[in-house]
Chain A
Amino acid sequence: GENVEQHPSTLSVQEGDSAVIKCTYSDSASNYFPWYKQELGKGPQLIIDIRSNVGEKKDQRIAVTLNKTAKHFSLHITETQPEDSAVYFCAASSLGAGSYQLTFGKGTKLSVIP
């Protein structure tokens, strides 16, 4: 089955700096790579995703890059703000019967220091 490794496990940045979280996956059949943000006491929420036919995707201060050859993808957050502090999870999946069976990384706890 799929295995997703995520680094670093914790990350502290100064407000306004950039943050980068990296993930690798093992199954070359995976074609969908979402990133979820989880705030304390809440369920994860999708912040951005990318499919295998795209190398990069951007949404305001958030961007994701994908390297299918190397089987790794990264989340980039620019101009970080205190409200970006949360746990971020990457995941990988292939589409099966219309459903996505996501395999998650272990998460990165991001702290943005004002």
Chain B
Amino acid sequence: NAGVTQTPKFRILKIGQSMTLQCAQDMNHNYMYWYRQDPGMGLKLIYYSVGAGITDKGEVPNGYNVSRSTTEDFPLRLELAAPSQTSVYFCATQGLAGESEQFFGPGTRLTVL
């Protein structure tokens, strides 16, 4: 099992460009999360999903969009990229309701210039 996979690993964007960060899991987990990690800071929750077709905002959702059409995939869309979105992005999954461990992917390092 691959667990949680994220693509791409690295990306450089120009201001105003758009892109989609991909997250896929083969753990059959209902819950999925997107976090961003800025240098010297902890992770901040962007969006999360409790199952296919259901998404909700986290602490820092502005400038991002998500969709969850399948259990396996949870893409994060950046529209009109800004330098403030330069960060490392992590996707995570969680199993059944009440199970607490979140499993993180390897991350995508995004630079907006």
Q: Which bucket holds chain A's interface residue count?
A: 20 to 34
- Interface residue from A9, A41, A89, A95 paired with B43 (Cβ < 8 Å): A89
Among listed A14-22, A44-52, A72-80, interface-contacting one: A44-52
Chain B residues in the interface with A (C-beta under 8 A): 4, 30-31, 33, 40-45, 48, 50, 58-59, 90, 92, 94, 96-98, 100-102, 104-107
- Interface residue from A1, A32, A99, A104 paired with B48 (Cβ < 8 Å): A99
Cα distance A9–B93 in the bound complex, in angstroms: 27
Given contacts A97-B50, A104-B42, 19 further A-B contacts (CB under 8 A): A32-B100, A34-B102, A42-B106, A44-B43, A44-B90, A45-B104, A49-B100, A91-B42, A98-B30, A98-B97, A99-B33, A99-B48, A99-B94, A102-B45, A103-B45, A104-B43, A104-B44, A106-B40, A107-B41
The reply on A4 being an interface residue by CB < 8 A is yes
A100 contacts B102, CB within 8 Å? yes
Within 8 Å CB of B94, what residues of A?
A: 99-100
Chain A residues in the interface with B (C-beta under 8 A): 1, 4, 6, 9, 32, 34, 41-46, 49, 89, 91, 95, 97-107
